[in-house]
């Protein structure tokens, strides 16, 4: 199986529980997850875990990636420390590579202007409105939203902080990890605790 690469951004205070549903399935279905830091220095997650980035942001190239995944973090709302990751998201989208952002990372993308013309969601509309962005008309009240890509730009996935399973669902759908029937079963199992979905998923 040809292994493909997902790049997970890591930074101090990043919400370590938010990408897990997605990355666990991706690594089991032919993908490699590599972590990207502002530098190569270790970071500490919101849960107190120490993570050593695989590469610094300066070395990240969208041509080498199937997805840039951005999680929430306290730092998204306390200054411009993480703005380089929002700029990297712009580079990805303009190169035709997809980006997935959850929780506070959506505010970072809003400040970068990446939500002004794309369907998106977040925690609540006024959270993004506080960034001063002009994309309010494109806000969708949903657990997770995928703005489809085109030949010229990459797809963008967004989700609110309470929806890591729905966030993963959109990522798994975009990267075609499961067919639609099995993806629905996976979501029902992990989001709704629907035990009947297990047989479908294993079938």
Residue 129: give its domain's CATH number.
3.40.50.880
Q: Using CB atoms within 10 Å of the CB of residue 141, give its burial: 0 to 12 exposed, 13 to 18 middle, 19+ buried.
A: exposed
pTM: 0.96
Phi, psi of 137 (to 5 degrees): -65, -15
Number of domains making up the chain: 1
Q: Which of 110, 64, 76 is nearest to 90 (CA)?
A: 110
SS (H, E, C) 113-130: CCCCCCCECCCCHHHHHC
Q: Which residues contact 1 (CB under 8 A, 6 or more apart)?
A: 30
Q: Domain of 73? A: 4-202
Residues catalogued as catalytic: 103
Tokens of 151: 């030949």
pLDDT tens for 38-95 read: 999 999 999 999 999 999 999 999 999 999 999 999 999 999 999 999 999 999 999 9
Tens digit of each residue's pLDDT (9 = 90 or more) over 109-153: 999 999 999 999 999 999 999 999 999 999 999 999 999 998 789
């Amino acid at each position: 199986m040809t292994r493909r690469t997902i790049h997970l951004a890591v930074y101090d205070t990043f919400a370590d529980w938010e990408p897990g549903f997605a990355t666990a399935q991706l690594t089991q279905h032919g993908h490699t997850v590599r972590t990207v830091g502002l530098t190569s220095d270790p970071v500490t997650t919101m849960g107190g875990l120490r993570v050593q980035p695989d590469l610094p942001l300066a070395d990240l190239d969208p041509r080498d990636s199937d997805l840039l995944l951005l999680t929430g973090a306290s730092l998204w709302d306390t200054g411009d420390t993480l703005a380089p990751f929002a700029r990297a998201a712009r580079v990805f989208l303009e190169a035709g590579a997809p980006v997935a952002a959850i929780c506070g990372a959506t505010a970072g993308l809003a400040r970068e202007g990446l939500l002004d013309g794309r369907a998106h969601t977040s925690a609540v509309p006024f959270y993004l409105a506080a960034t001063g962005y002009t994309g309010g008309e494109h806000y969708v009240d949903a657990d997770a939203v995928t703005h489809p890509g085109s030949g010229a730009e990459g797809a963008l996935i967004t989700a609110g902080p309470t929806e890591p399973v729905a966030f993963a669902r959109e990522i798994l759908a975009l990267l075609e990890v499961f067919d639609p029937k099995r993806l629905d079963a996976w979501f029902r199992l992990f989001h709704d605790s629907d035990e009947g979905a297990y047989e479908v998923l294993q079938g």
